[in-house]
Amino acid sequence: MEFKNLDSNILYVVGGEDCCRQSVPGPSDITAVYIAFSDLPKDSVESELKDLCTAGFLTIMEGGHKIALTSKGVEKVKTLPLCRR
């Protein structure tokens, strides 16, 4: 099953508001991502997180409990429509 824009939505959940205000977000609890997308299958969210890490947009740290945007991820979030309001 494919979910449209899941990658962008995950990036926004991880640090969107801070990025939109031109600040760099710190690491956040990865649980927030799973809560935000609790209506989707967990394996789909995990797969997308892995893809975003492989692509260099996210870093998962502290044994998989914390997640943060990389500089590449911050730049991607700044281009999202939610930030251009």
Q: Terminus-to-terminus CA distance in the chain, angstroms?
A: 31
* Domain range for 51: 6-84
Write down the pTM of the prediction: 0.83
User: Is residue 1 included in any domain, yes or no?
Assistant: no
User: Is residue 46 included in any domain, yes or no?
Assistant: yes
User: DSSP alpha helices (H): ranges in 21-70?
Assistant: 31-36, 42-54
pLDDT of residue 5: 83
User: Is residue 65 included in any domain, yes or no?
Assistant: yes
User: Is residue 27 included in any domain, yes or no?
Assistant: yes
For the stretch 28-77, pLDDT in tens is 889 989 999 999 999 999 999 999 999 999 998 878 889 999 989 888 88
Domain count, the chain: 1
> In this structure, what CATH number is given to the domain that contains residue 71?
1.10.10.10
